[in-house]
Amino acid sequence: MVVGEMPEGLDFLVIGAGPGGYTAALEAAALGRSVTIVDRAGAEGVGGTCLLEGCIPSKALIETAELRSRALEFAGSALGFQAACVDMPKFQAWKNDIVTRLSKGVHGKLRSGGVNVIGGTFSFTGANRGVIEIGGDSPPQHVEFEDAVIAVGSTAVQVPSLPFDGAKVFDAAGILDLEELPQHLVVVGGGYIGMEIGTAAQKLGSLVVVVEAMDTILPGMPPSAVKHVVRRARKLGIEILTGHAAQGVGDEGIEVVGPDGASRTLPADAVLVAVGRRPATKHLGLAAAGIRVDEQGLIPVDAGFRASSHIAAVGDAVAGPALAHKAIAEAKVAARALCGQPAALVSTAIPLVVFSDPEIAVVGLDAAAAEASGMETAVLRLPFGASGRAATMESTEGAVELVVDRATNAVVGAVLVGPHVSELVGEMTLAIEMAATPDDLSFTIHPHPTLSEMVQDAAAQYVALPG
């Protein structure tokens, strides 16, 4: 510390105002701590990437696209629907109003909890010290904290040959802010972000091509689920180029190279680069705090998410899927652990959801993973064609698949593909956490006619081994 720099004393510091950050702040405040959040955007950043740029804006786009798509599918039918057009400036105003209201709601909770939100960037200068760069003419603010939670989230990975320019090449946040749909949209990256936004854009009227370097879209998802998304994408008119690499973009479009080495130029009014995200831990000065990161920039933590005795890390900054609901759960544990309470996250099931068409929701172990772990399994599968509710929705693509451990008769996993399965996976997560059996599910009365009956009916297929 430079002579003359008297650090301000802070009790409980949170770095980042996203889901992990604001949850840790509220939890610590409820436990009697005096909490300060530092976020680059200050109060305007409350909600983080998820609320402001990702989860909520993308679902607004997906929902709007689905409304238009269904109107088009029913156009000319006996129901007499007319084709719909979407006014994108009005959509943006509506979407921004939703985001603003939700962000203000979270900020209101923080304010009620006595949490102070500061705008600026934070970096560590010691094991319990740091500096906040506020910017402008304001001098750096030196602070000394009792405990801190790192909840800085992640940033979009850039492809050197496709730098984001905000004019033709965009990350997801940039695409979601467009007030005019591109006629030709090329999506580089067939992961969940690429497929969600690409599918929505196609439904809204763009001509979409998805370029994926691997041999399948949605890598890491069960093939039994991915095949439904591929089939539906092709029906919608989306071109999927697997095994292709993007080389660069020019006036004529984007050049891609296929697995045979042949190149072609795809017309592109806009390019969405969605090849992944990396933790935003690079400029935190973690070494000064005695905290190391791995080669991916992730911070190793213990069961209480502590990276050191007085510093914890949650969300995209630590290992595991980059999910808001995971960050929220981790933040509660981290805050309690730093407040001296016994706390650890022992979860056997974290649901993964892709808001594609049809939706995919996976939780626990799929059949391949269960068998690889040595389990003797039973797989209970029921197609959505068996659902009366799905039939009335004209949305029968997909299936419910439950994985059961024969030795214990417990449900250990589920792969759900179909309409609104994001709303069904919560039941399966609870079932796995509670070690429920198929009988527990099948003898639980589900309302009729609903999509949730698919879980009940699939479970009813199970026959336990004698003895």
Residue 1 is predicted with a pLDDT of 44
pLDDT in tens, 78-130: 555 555 678 899 999 999 999 999 999 999 999 999 999 999 999 999 999 99
Task: Provide mean pLDDT across the span 163-179.
Answer: 95
Q: Residue 127 and residue 289: Cα distance in Å, rounded?
A: 4
Buried b (16+ CB within 10 A) or exposed e, 116-152: ebbbbbbbbbeebbbbbebeeeeeebbbbbebbbbbb
Letter for the amino acid at 57? P
Q: Residue 410 and residue 7: Cα distance in Å, rounded?
A: 55
CB 1 within 8 A of CB 129: yes
Confidence of residue 398 (pLDDT cuts 50, 70, 90): very high
pLDDT in tens, 375-397: 999 999 999 999 999 999 989 99
Task: Provide mean pLDDT across the span 160-167.
Answer: 93
pLDDT in tens, 295-345: 999 999 999 999 999 999 999 999 999 999 999 999 999 999 999 998 888
**Rounded mean pLDDT of the chain?**
93
Helix, strand or coil for residue 34? coil
pLDDT in tens, 238-295: 999 999 999 999 888 999 999 999 999 999 999 999 999 999 999 999 999 999 999 9
Share of the chain above pLDDT 70, in %: 96
Architecture of the CATH domain 352-459? 2-Layer Sandwich (3.30)
pLDDT at 414 over 70: yes
Same fold, 169-275 and 352-459: no
pLDDT in tens, 415-453: 999 999 999 999 999 999 999 999 999 999 999 999 999
Task: Provide mean pLDDT across the span 43-66.
Answer: 95
- Percent of the chain as helix, strand, coil, to the nearest 5: 35, 25, 40
pLDDT at 137 over 90: no
**Which residues are tagged catalytic?**
448
CB 413 within 8 A of CB 384: no
Q: How far is CA 19 from CA 16, 151, 199, 296, 349, in A?
A: 9, 8, 26, 21, 19
Residue 74 is predicted with a pLDDT of 72
Domain boundaries, the chain: 8-156+278-338, 169-275, 352-459
Residue with token string 């980059």: 322
Tell me the residue ranges of DSSP E strands in 213-262.
239-242, 245-250, 253-257
CB 273 within 8 A of CB 159: yes
What phi, psi does 155 have (nearest 5°)?
Answer: -125, 155
Tell me the residue ranges of DSSP E strands in 356-450.
359-364, 377-383, 399-405, 410-418
Residue 128 is predicted with a pLDDT of 95
Q: Residue 244 and residue 114: Cα distance in Å, rounded?
A: 52
CATH ID of 8-156+278-338, from 1.10.10.10, 3.40.50.1000, 3.30.43.10, 3.50.50.60: 3.50.50.60
CATH 3.40.50.300, domain 169-275, yes or no: no
How many residues in the chain? 467
